[in-house]
Amino acid sequence: MKRKVMLSFCLLLLIGCTDPLSEVESSLLSSSEASEEIVADNFAITPVIDTFDFDLLNDLEYIFYDDAGDIAFLSGHNIVASDYEITDSYIRIKRHYLVYLTPGEYELDVYSTTGQSTLSFVVLDKNNEYRVINHSFETGDLFGWEASTIFKGERNLLAFTNDAVVAHGTSAESGPYSGNGDFLIGPPEGEDLATYEEKIGMLKSSTFTLGGSGYITFNLGVGRVADLAYLSIYRASDNFEIARYSDRYYHRDGSSSKFGYAPYYKADLSAYLGEKLYAILHDRGGHSDDYVTFDYLETYHDPKPSIDIGGIVVNEVPTFALSYAPNQLPNGDFSLGLEMWNVSPNLGWQDTSAFHVETGILKSNANGDAGRGLIRSSLFTIDGAGYVSLQLGAAKGARFDKDTYVSVRLYGCNTEIIRFTNDRSDGTNLVTYYVDLTKYLNKVAYFEVVDNATGSWDTIFVSDIKTYYEEVPDFTGINFANNLMY
Ligand SMILES: [Ca+2]
Ligand SMILES: [Ca+2]
Ligand SMILES: [Ca+2]
């Protein structure tokens, strides 16, 4: 009875603990309790692997014998049934549980049909809390990372699957290449490259606390268009995007990155030391070289990496000249030309001259259908009835819904909350679309207009943007903008 009470007390403590100090206190309590229990062990458990290494991401393994009868369950340190596996003679504790434990010594209680016993293990200190799980993809899969679609929920269009964790080649010309370990993110073996390039998606890391020197390093390759292929770092407390990096090396003459090589970059994030951060790798493009190779996101360097390693990064997170965000977008009717709008200067678009205004209509065809680019509005506040409207024209090329579109993004996190396209195209006439942003009332947002294709009709026209309606506007379903993001 005494033991039961003590166990419950320990479990309660653990459930309530989130900071490392409390975790240490609980560990101490558990071990002093366990020392009393040694004499009470009713059966033997022999460790096979009882050390967890954050770099190896190994499971733990223990053998038990006939005297144990049937093992019923493990208890302690918040372990639940899905965190371990019991076979005829083995207990395996899985890495997905171990990876979140603070480094140190642990004991778990093991209950069986013949009584109880304990097993112990060690979580090695590899600066675990300062690093992302499976930072080099050496498990050969996406363990510790979370992939999500960004287009109509279509899993078959998702770039980041376990198949995209590939063995690295031996030279830049032979295919995917990485200098770090055996695996990296890249085009799956046996898949047609054009098919892979068309795929898009996001790949999110685990959350880490920025420690050490505050520098991070990573390998990032290909990604022809900076605005469509990039690594972003976010602050976990408010999902604010603090930095965005693309592979600038790709654009050098004769760059091996054009063949899949993932150059090594370093970035100084020391202004965010001590904060919890996470990374998201973005692939948002569907054409030639619109894919990424990626590896070895190391977020703990102490001391800071030497001056001669790692290429130069440029923080390409969107910035706005004015933080003023009225509810009606200034120059939403383009009566002032491109005033208040910003053409992206980032690498990978042919040039920055694709956009022009003609009779109050923004068009991406200053250089014909072959022009490509991204233009960003100033900020506006989602207000009133929460609806906005605009007119769209053209944008009806072969893959129009992936190539020529309008997005609304939230300021700060830059989350794309809606993407829509001219799916109700009416020949050469403009079509009005109403966009429901009621879920985001009082948030600050902006538009992005994207043209990432060069074929016939691959150009987009936008006009007459209204971002304030006092009441829900009167329109039929035919003019409702369908969100492609889900
Ligand atoms: Ca690797
Ligand atoms: Ca792609
Ligand atoms: Ca175009």
CA 461 / ligand 3 centre spacing (Å) = 11
- Mean pLDDT over the full length of the chain: 90
Beta-carbon neighbours within 5 Å of ion ligand 2: 200, 283, 290-291
Contact 197, 150 (CB under 8 A): no
**Which pLDDT tens digit goes with each residue over 252-304?**
999 989 888 999 999 999 999 999 999 999 999 999 999 999 999 999 999 99
For residue 399, which ligand has an atom nearest its CA? 3
Question: Which of the residue ranges 22-26, 418-422, 423-427 would you say has the lowest mean pLDDT?
Answer: 22-26
Give me the helices (H) in 272-426, please.
400-403
pLDDT higher than 80, residue 91: yes
For residue 180, which ligand has an atom nearest its CA? 1
What pLDDT sits at residue 3? 42
Contact 324, 354 (CB under 8 A): no
Topology annotation, domain 342-479? Jelly Rolls (2.60.120)
pLDDT higher than 50, residue 32: no
CA 356 / ligand 1 centre spacing (Å) = 44
Topology annotation, domain 129-298? Jelly Rolls (2.60.120)
Q: Domain 2-126 carries which CATH code?
A: 2.60.40
For residue 140, which ligand has an atom nearest its CA? 1
CA 330 / ligand 3 centre spacing (Å) = 26
Q: Which two tokens stand for residue 466?
A: 């209204």
Identity of the amino acid at 183: F
CA 152 / ligand 2 centre spacing (Å) = 15
What pLDDT sits at residue 446? 98
**342-479 matches 129-298 in CATH topology:** yes
What pLDDT sits at residue 335? 98
CA 381 / ligand 2 centre spacing (Å) = 31
**Which pLDDT tens digit goes with each residue over 384-398?**
999 999 999 999 999
pLDDT higher than 70, residue 173: no
CA 421 / ligand 2 centre spacing (Å) = 18
CA 153 / ligand 2 centre spacing (Å) = 15
CA 216 / ligand 2 centre spacing (Å) = 25
pLDDT higher than 50, residue 360: yes
pLDDT higher than 80, residue 356: yes
Confidence of residue 131 (pLDDT cuts 50, 70, 90): very high
What pLDDT sits at residue 485? 84
**Which pLDDT tens digit goes with each residue over 402-414?**
999 999 999 999 9
Q: Which two tokens stand for residue 452?
A: 């990432």
Domain boundaries, the chain: 2-126, 129-298, 342-479
CA 427 / ligand 3 centre spacing (Å) = 17
Average pLDDT score over residue span 24-53: 66
Average pLDDT score over residue span 36-61: 87
For residue 202, which ligand has an atom nearest its CA? 2
Cα-Cα-Cα-Cα dihedral of 174, 176, 177, 182, to 10°?
-120
pLDDT higher than 80, residue 92: yes
What pLDDT sits at residue 201? 96
CA 145 / ligand 1 centre spacing (Å) = 14
CA 239 / ligand 2 centre spacing (Å) = 24
| Cα distance from N-terminal residue to C-terminal residue, the chain | 52
CA 248 / ligand 1 centre spacing (Å) = 21
CA 103 / ligand 3 centre spacing (Å) = 53
What pLDDT sits at residue 12? 36
CA 50 / ligand 3 centre spacing (Å) = 58
For residue 187, which ligand has an atom nearest its CA? 2
Average pLDDT score over residue span 175-186: 82
What pLDDT sits at residue 14? 36
pLDDT higher than 50, residue 6: no
For residue 196, which ligand has an atom nearest its CA? 2
Q: Please report, rounded to a whole number, the percentage of residues in the chain having pLDDT higher than 90.
A: 81
CA 20 / ligand 3 centre spacing (Å) = 53
Confidence of residue 308 (pLDDT cuts 50, 70, 90): confident
Confidence of residue 350 (pLDDT cuts 50, 70, 90): confident
